Amino acid sequence: MRTQVGIIGAGPAGLLLSHLLHLRGIDSVVLERRSRDHVERRVRAGVLEQGTVETLVAAGVGDRLTREGLVHRGIELRYGGAGHRVAFERLVPGRAITVYGQQEVVKDLIAARLAAGGDVRFEVGDVAVNDAGTDRPHLTFGGERLDCDVIAGCDGFHGVSRASIPGDALTVYEREYPFAWLGVLARVEPSAEELIYAWTERGFALHSMRSPEISRFYLQVPAGEDIADWPDERIWAELRARLETVPGFTLATGEIVEKGVTPMRSFVAEPMRYGRLFLAGDAAHIVPPTGAKGLNLAVADVRVLTEALAHWYATGSADLLDAYSETCLKRVWRAQHFSWWMTTLLHTFETDDAYARRLQMSHLDYVTSSEAAAVTLAENYVGLPYERDLPDPAQTTPQAREVIE
């Protein structure tokens, strides 16, 4: 078999890359080791930046997103017995976030790829990257071979793509945090209209949502915590203790349909390219989820890679491909800093003494009282503008114009 771009991973990065390439007249094959049902049910991120929403809509996969997504124009920082709203509509006019689950984005992208005749293969085992350092890379899987011009590694932190790069060709930057997030999906109406980020002496808590009927919650717990030690009653009791800290707020409870513990880490592998292998999304970088940047960074990577590949195929120039890693890493490191900043601002650290705690309170007071500090939080949270806009539909292929229009 042969294709132009071989893509490993059918998460948001791999599927969106395949779709954007299709709109530019470039063929691809997507290989995914999990089943379609698994990737469509996998609960992950749920906060989409303004630019991510605009990208999906412009690519023709935003119909359900625009109907069902919950547009938020602010978040609340809750600490010291009071709530403080960060008002996006005032601080960054015209920009917002949209709450729409990652699994829903994946469903929309899979449907779009299959409707367009895209080649997306699920439950593919033994995928291996071969000859990535040459101009004839290929993938092998299940006794088959896929020759391609370029390989895109979109298979996440634990995937085979980054692991196939020689160790001396990468520089890794990593930080492990001494706590984790216990995440809960509950069949209950959200208790607030916007996300609540709560700092307490007991630890951090986040009130989020996925729909008008489904709420999402997170609790800071020690690293390595066993989910078996957290029966539903204990989870609700701890959520109430950390969220019901302002007058008049009552947490609604209901059936917990999913729960799990997620480690917190920061990770970047540089460069994001090795020969004809290009890493995108979690395969290249991980951020703690406090800043809601993981999925959005993957979309930003894919936009850059799509434009670089389209330029290469159209002109023969590899300038944009050669600049891919540097271009992406500028945004990656900005998001790394913002995610680290939000994490250290809102979580309790066992190693902190009284001085460190007072500094943390002073910082929270500054963010919620200073216009300049609030703007910094808001513009990073809703997402910084992209360096390049998507091509105008009139400049794309007839096939792309039909999808977009």
Sheet with 150-153, edge to edge strand ranges: 119-121, 28-31, 5-8, 150-153, 277-279, 273-274
Residues in contact with 315: Cβ distance below 8 Å, sequence separation at least 6, in sequence order? none
**258, two tokens:** 């999913």
Tokens of 200: 């307490």
Pairing of strands 196-198, 74-79: parallel
- The active-site residue, picked from 72, 138, 207, 285, is 72
**Annotated catalytic residue within 289, 324, 347, 391:** 289
To the query of whether residue 173 is one of the catalytic residues in this protein, the response is no
Q: Active-site residue 197, yes or no?
A: yes
Does residue 72 carry a catalytic annotation? yes
Spot the catalytic one: 177, 197, 218, 324: 197
Q: List 119's β-bridge partners, or say none.
A: 29
Rounded CA gap, 81 and 247, in Å?
Answer: 8
Residue from 285, 293, 324, 347 carrying the catalytic annotation: 293
Give me the helix-helix angle, 294-315 and 324-346, nearest 10°: 170
Task: Give, in order, the Cα–Cα distances in Å from 306 to each of 20, 250, 268.
Answer: 7, 46, 21
Q: Which amino acid is at 336?
A: Q
Rounded distance, CA 76 to CA 88, Å?
11
Task: Decide if 45 contacts 286 (C-beta within 8 A).
Answer: no
Residues with Cβ within 8 Å of residue 149, at least 6 apart in sequence: 4, 5, 137, 276
Strand-strand pairing, 70-72 and 215-222: unpaired
Please list the active-site residues: 72, 197, 289, 293, 381
